[in-house]
Amino acid sequence: MNAADTPDKPLEDILKRAREAAGGEKVDLVDLVKAFGDRAFGPVMILCSLFLMTPIGAIPGLPAAFGLVVIIFALQLLFRRPHPWMPSILRKVKISDSALEKTQDKVSPFLRKIDSVIRPRLPWVTSGPMQAFTALLAIILAATLLPLGMVPFGVVAPAFIIGLLGLGITARDGVLIIMGFLLSVGVAFGVTNLIMSGF
């Protein structure tokens, strides 16, 4: 059973599946993605988001790598590719089981609370044209991870929104996706004001 097929605990199940893929060793991003099967789009976005919001996201180069993964998956979601594809170069990006364990220990209590309140809602937001818009937004947010990765905690805001979008896709919860849209507008407005105030 895929993590995406268990809407009762979508977040906890994603981290559990990631640990199983590692099998106590290091796992590369390609094998990690394959562990989620054909419906990996949402879970992978969530997983990238979770990593970026923990100390793993501070490792040089990883924000760019996770951003690339999100872009690759969002593009496939945009063009409605039925089966996810990953470039073999991402086999060079490896995550240890200990890093996965630390991430799981830190965020599991929080994820458990979220899992208790999410549910399928507003199906029109999670399909059709809105799904394409969600994919485009994820691409834009992921593109900001490279420059923001050079700023302490700079990736947290876009990573959080990417996670919301991925969770909305996984749990088919349109409310979460709408929240992601609104937060994106807020972040864009704040960044614009910050830039303008510097001139």
pLDDT, position 145: 81
Least confident of 32-41, 66-75, 146-155: 32-41
Mean pLDDT over residues 172-182, rounded?
91
pLDDT at 161 over 70: yes
CB 57 within 8 A of CB 51: yes
One DSSP character per residue, 35-84 reads TTGGG-HHHHHHHHHHHHTSGGGGSTTHHHHHHHHHHHHHHHHHTT-SS-
Tens of pLDDT, residue by residue over 22-64, are 777 777 777 777 666 656 778 788 888 888 887 776 677 778 8
What is the Cα–Cα distance from 168 to 86, expressed in whole angstroms? 22
pLDDT, position 172: 86
**Structure token pair of residue 36:** 């989620």
Residue 73: which of 59, 83, 64, 63 has the closest Cα?
83
Residues in contact with 149: Cβ distance below 8 Å, sequence separation at least 6, in sequence order? 57, 60, 62, 63, 64, 67, 155
pTM: 0.73
CB 171 within 8 A of CB 118: yes
What is the Cα–Cα distance from 138 to 57, expressed in whole angstroms? 17
Q: Residue 1's pLDDT band (boundaries 50, 70, 90)?
A: very low
